[in-house]
Amino acid sequence: MKKKPRGPEKKVRTPERVRQALVRSPARSARRHAAELNISRESVRRNLQRDLRFHPYTITVVQELKARDYVQREDFAVRIQVVFEEEENLILMSDEAHFHLNGTVNKQNCRYWSPDNPHNIHQRPLHSDRVKVWCAVAPCGIIGPYFFEENGVTETVNSARYIEMITNFLRPELRRRRINCANVWFQQDGATAHTANELMTIARNMFPGHLISRFGDVPWPPRSPDLSTCDFFFLWGYLKWRVYAHKTRTLNDLKEVIRQEIRPIGRQLLARVMDDFKKKS
């Protein structure tokens, strides 16, 4: 009886070789590691997941810092810790963000199961309808949203519109909430619309000695969105995740959903956000 020819010799898993390769090149894909080690991709993945317990973490992309930024960031961290130590101080951190009507399509989650390639194409407008939102985060609650628009049409933020927001929305809102501006430290980033001479005069009068901004009482370091509770720590990522799940069809619906998702954000959650900010700043 003719014997069946033996197949290729099975290779044992080599987690140590895979581990050494990952230590040398942690950003290289499993496919390229498999090619370099001359083993199958399935073996590499088994070694990574079962033996080594490695996980493919997503790299966070942040703004590049200049050499001089490090000193300014360190100075800011020291001074903001002093502000936090005064219990009567209330820190109000503000920012703006765009919310698009069609949200964001995650292509990694787009799949179409079929025996044949349907060649489906997901079409989306290059410049989708959107709203420009301003909010401020404080331990006592979220102030906002404020939408930069005129007659329902979204507008870009310039110094005149920003001044209008400060004087006609923020100031009355603080009075309505019975917040004493003398104890408020107001933070804004260094955008040009935030640092015009007229605006800085108004902001200094509203928050005397308590302005965190470029050219402010505590200088805001450039290229530092990661030092804001709105941008990096909490608000916009959380809010967009909640808002885009609603699949709104009109800008009015989008604005209402933004308001709806901001309302339940309570003091307990915001207190944890501010504690996290203090530890990391």
Q: 28-63: per-residue pLDDT in tens? A: 777 888 888 888 888 888 887 788 787 777 666 666
Mean per-residue pLDDT over the chain, rounded: 83
Whole-angstrom distance, CA of residue 126 vs CA of residue 123: 9
Residue 112 has pLDDT above 90, yes or no: no
Structure tokens that stand for 245 in this block: 């799940």
Per-residue pLDDT tens digits for 180-224: 888 899 999 988 999 999 999 999 999 999 999 999 999 998 888
Query: 256 or 115: which carries more pLDDT confidence?
Result: 256
* pLDDT at 19 (0 to 100): 82
Structure tokens that stand for 203 in this block: 């902001």
Residue 80 has pLDDT above 80, yes or no: yes
Per-residue pLDDT tens digits for 7-22: 555 554 577 888 888 7
Whole-angstrom distance, CA of residue 112 vs CA of residue 121: 11
* pLDDT at 109 (0 to 100): 46
For the stretch 261-266, contacts whose Cβ atoms lie closer than 8 Å and that sit 24 or more positions apart, written own/partner, are 262/135, 262/142, 262/144, 262/145, 265/141, 265/142, 266/141
Nearest to 242 by CA among 103, 84, 62: 103
By the 8 A CB rule, do 267 and 275 touch? no
Average pLDDT over residues 103-131: 60
Residue 15: Cβ within 10 Å count? 17
Residue 121 has pLDDT above 70, yes or no: no
Helix (H) or strand (E) holding 96: strand 90-100
pTM: 0.70
Structure tokens that stand for 9 in this block: 């010799």
Nearest to 175 by CA among 149, 206, 196, 200: 206
Whole-angstrom distance, CA of residue 80 vs CA of residue 60: 25
* pLDDT at 66 (0 to 100): 79
Per-residue pLDDT tens digits for 137-196: 998 899 999 999 998 889 999 999 999 999 999 999 999 999 988 889 999 998 899 999
* pLDDT at 36 (0 to 100): 83
